[in-house]
């Protein structure tokens, strides 16, 4: 069910609109307006233009009531109880009773009697009228869900309310015409429209005679016993005139009350609508909006026979377009965020790779071909763990103390020699230091060559440090 509904009541010289917002436990009347339609040409178009300036007519759903001057009614008896079959034979039963070609009409009906002799109350208007109305509404971006018959939605709302009489009359007293809606046993059975003639009293007598004639005809044909209306409900411009309620009560001989739908505790007037609200003039439009939520509904719908509401795809609705735009914005922001994160992660990974490479070269200088430094370092570490034993030099069969002893014994005590670094790995021993001359370096090499612990002895480097006048050297001892 839509959260908000706009009811637009089109009647003679006035256009009335009411917007209702559905809430918890009731409805809020958020906006209302009544526009006088002047002139003869494009009266409705001009009225809608003025109305659109006072409220948003494109929000939520919209229900429109067709002018009483364009709608006709007939009571018919049909041979079928099934609603589908009733609709199939309706055109044939109605054709002899209408002044128009049946193919030029839009027709709908309600069932008034489901006894052995089913009865229908048929409503019809010309397709030309419906087409022109929908085109005018379309120019203002209004696509109504239903085209209702004036008076019926209000009568159904009254019938559905607790405490409503089972038999009653609704009189919509307009400036130019009066609409009579009669219900029996909480079912609408009769509707007629009368044009104002010689006076209110004469018009009320016509209403009284019409109701009496309808009841007498039913009794004469033994269709169903007619029950006298228990109460009359008044609405419209005429209901505000002094003495009207008393005149109706005296003429019809039943209690009379003015309709005010906002007396219902479930309906609340919003702050913007309350200063403009006039129940007698606006209840018709309000009944359209409320009827969208009512169990009784809105009665016949003249939007049929080629004028049905086109089921719009969700993918073409405004809501979908708005959601799609927001999703696109969110996706774009997410993509930008992911792109920025990826860029900085790549920069950080490159920096870490450079640091790993520098550390690898410093830790494993003997490896010249570097493919995957992390994996190669792991292989080297695993190899060291595999061959290493407690108290022994990894990869050699001698203790570290034995190596130190062997090296010190091979070097003469009188030699001017300082060892600054001694590196031991599974395949070699490296000695770095400084001495007084190149000859001393050669003597160190010759002494170490005599050791049985090393297969090779190589002078890796020997350079003169001019600042200290010393020779810097490095000797590699291989297994």
Domain ranges of the chain: 4-311, 324-387, 400-478
Per-residue pLDDT tens digits for 84-116:
888 888 888 888 888 889 999 999 999 887 776
Question: Taking 80 as the threshold, does the pLDDT of residue 402 lie above it?
Answer: no
- Residues 6 or more apart whose Cβ sits within 8 Å of residue 357: 370, 373
- The residue among 65, 67, 33, 60 whose CA lies nearest residue 49 is 33
| Residue 67, pLDDT score | 85
Which band of pLDDT confidence, cut at 50, 70 and 90, is reported for residue 391? very low
- pLDDT tens digits, residue range 368-387? 788 888 888 888 888 777 65
Q: What average pLDDT does the segment 151-179 reach? A: 91
Q: Whose CA is closest to 229, among 153, 160, 164, 157?
A: 164
Judged against a pLDDT cut of 50, whether residue 394 lies above it is answered with no
pLDDT of residue 393: 47
For the chain, how big is the Rg over CA atoms in Å?
51
| CATH label, 4-311, candidates 3.90.380.10, 3.40.630.40, 3.30.420.380, 3.40.50.720 | 3.30.420.380
Asked if residue 328 has pLDDT above 60, the reply is yes
Fold of 400-478: Gyrase A; domain 2 (3.30.1360)
Extract the tokens encoding 142.
Answer: 């209004």
The pLDDT, as a whole number, for residue 396 is 47
pLDDT tens readout for residues 244-258? 999 999 999 999 999
- Average pLDDT in the 180-208 region? 87
Average model confidence (pLDDT) across the chain = 85
- Answer whether residue 203 shows pLDDT above 80: yes
Q: How confident is the model at residue 64 (pLDDT cuts 50, 70, 90)?
A: very high
pLDDT for the residue 15: 92
Taking residues 10-27, what's their average pLDDT? 88
Per-residue confidence (pLDDT) for residue 198, from 0 to 100:
63
**Cα–Cα distance between 282 and 276 in angstroms, integer?**
10
Cα–Cα distance list, 169 to 186, 213, 393 (Å): 11, 15, 115
């Amino acid at each position: 069910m839509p959260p908000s509904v706009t009811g637009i009541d089109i009647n003679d010289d006035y256009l009335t609109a009411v917007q209702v917002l559905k809430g918890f436990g009731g409805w809020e009347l958020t906006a209302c307006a009544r526009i006088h339609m002047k002139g003869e040409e494009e009266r409705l178009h001009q009225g809608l233009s003025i109305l659109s300036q006072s409220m948003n007519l494109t929000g939520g759903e919209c229900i429109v009531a067709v002018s009483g001057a364009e709608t006709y009614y007939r009571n018919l008896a049909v041979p079928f109880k099934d609603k589908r079959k009733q609709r199939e034979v309706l055109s044939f039963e109605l054709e002899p009773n209408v002044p128009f070609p049946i193919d030029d009409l839009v027709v709908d009906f309600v069932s008034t009697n489901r006894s052995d002799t089913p009865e229908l109350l048929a409503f019809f208007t010309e397709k030309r009228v419906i087409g022109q109305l929908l085109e005018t509404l379309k120019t203002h971006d209004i696509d109504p869900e239903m085209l209702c018959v004036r008076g019926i939605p209000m009568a159904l709302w009254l019938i559905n309310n607790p405490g409503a009489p089972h038999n009653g009359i609704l009189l919509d007293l307009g400036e130019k015409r009066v609409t009579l809606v009669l219900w029996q046993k909480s079912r609408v059975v009769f509707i007629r429209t009368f044009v104002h003639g010689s006076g209110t009293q004469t018009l009320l007598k016509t209403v009284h005679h019409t109701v009496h004639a309808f009841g007498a005809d039913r009794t004469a044909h033994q269709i169903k016993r007619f029950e006298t209306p228990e109460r009359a409900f008044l609405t419209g411009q005429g209901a505000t005139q002094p003495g009207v309620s008393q005149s109706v009560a005296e003429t019809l001989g039943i209690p009379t009350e003015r309709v005010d739908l906002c007396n219902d505790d479930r309906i609340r007037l919003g702050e913007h609508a309350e200063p403009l609200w006039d129940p007698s003039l606006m209840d018709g439009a309000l009944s359209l909006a409320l009827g969208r939520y009512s169990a009784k509904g809105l009665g016949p719908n003249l939007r049929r026979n080629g004028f049905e509401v086109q089921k719009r795809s969700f993918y073409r609705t405004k809501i979908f377009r708005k959601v799609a735009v927001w999703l696109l914005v969110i996706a774009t922001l997410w993509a930008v965020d992911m792109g920025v994160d990826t860029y900085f992660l790549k920069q950080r990974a490159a920096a870490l790779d450079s640091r790993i490479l520098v550390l690898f070269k410093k830790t494993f200088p003997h490896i010249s071909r570097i493919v995957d430094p992390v994996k190669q370092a792991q292989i080297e570490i695993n190899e060291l763990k595999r061959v290493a034993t407690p108290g022994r030099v990894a990869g050699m069969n001698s203790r570290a103390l034995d190596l130190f002893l062997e090296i010190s014994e091979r070097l003469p005590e009188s030699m001017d020699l300082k060892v600054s670094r001694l590196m031991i790995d599974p395949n070699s021993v490296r000695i770095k230091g400084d001495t007084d001359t190149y000859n001393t370096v050669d003597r160190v090499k010759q002494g170490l060559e005599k050791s049985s612990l090393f297969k090779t002895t190589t002078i890796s480097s020997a350079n003169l440090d001019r600042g200290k006048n010393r020779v810097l050297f490095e000797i590699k001892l291989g297994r």
